[in-house]
Amino acid sequence: MASGSAAPPVDHAVLRALFAQQEALRQQVARALHNEIGQAVSAIKMSAHLAGDEDDAAQRREDLAEIVRIADDTVARLRELYSVLRPPQLEALGLQASLRGEAEAWQARWGVPAHIEVALADEDRAAAAIELTAFRSVQDVLLAPTALSRLAITAARIDDCLALRIEHDGEAPDAGLLAQLHARANAYGGELALTRSTAGHVQVDLRLPWRGVPT
């Protein structure tokens, strides 16, 4: 048997943290599908039955309008869930527009202003895997259950690297999320650092090779 280099040691604690983080995301999507989408579909069905049995034309129009409203809200929520699983805007619009969109959606959801400073040229984009890695890192940090009153996201090309910073005044990422962020960065030839600013804000710094890693 040909000899080869020994496999690197496995940190089982880090793996368990990664698996727990992935399972938490699956549970979040499952709860949203069951509690929100399932209830919305049931409401649409009930409203449709009411509209079908309604003899008053004005009331029937109100019932139908309510069905349309619920359907619109459900479609919007499904798009949010889909973007968690696969960001469709990233390929079409690029990282700059996608980060702004993600921050604006977060701002609309929580009512907290987000400061976005992204200086990336649309005509010379980073490798697709690098853009996805950066975008997923932002998503993961923003999905963490921590109350924020300040959020800032900056991104720029520095020394042929994509430099991304997420700064907020909430809790630092837990062990599972931090392990996932580190593993994703390392897998694509990058590095991640967790620090605090002079004001005590959490800073997640990610640096990734602009062109990606050779396949």
What are the pLDDT digits (tens) for 35-49? 888 888 888 888 888
pTM beyond 0.85: the answer is: no
In the Cβ-directed half-sphere of 28, how many Cα atoms lie within 13 Å?
A: 15
More confident residue, 211 or 18: 211
Alpha helices in 86-215 (DSSP H): 88-93, 95-110, 128-143, 175-187
Task: State mean pLDDT over 139-159.
Answer: 86
Report, in angstroms and rounded to the nearest whole number, the Rg of the chain calculated over CA atoms.
22
| In the predicted structure, residue 156 carries a pLDDT above the cut 90 | yes
Angle between helices 175-187 and 12-31 (to 10 degrees): 100
pLDDT number for residue 102: 82
Top pLDDT among 12 and 103 is at 103
Average pLDDT, rounded, for the chain? 83
151 and 112 Cβ atoms separated by less than 8 Å: yes
Is-contact 17 180, C-beta < 8 A?
Answer: yes
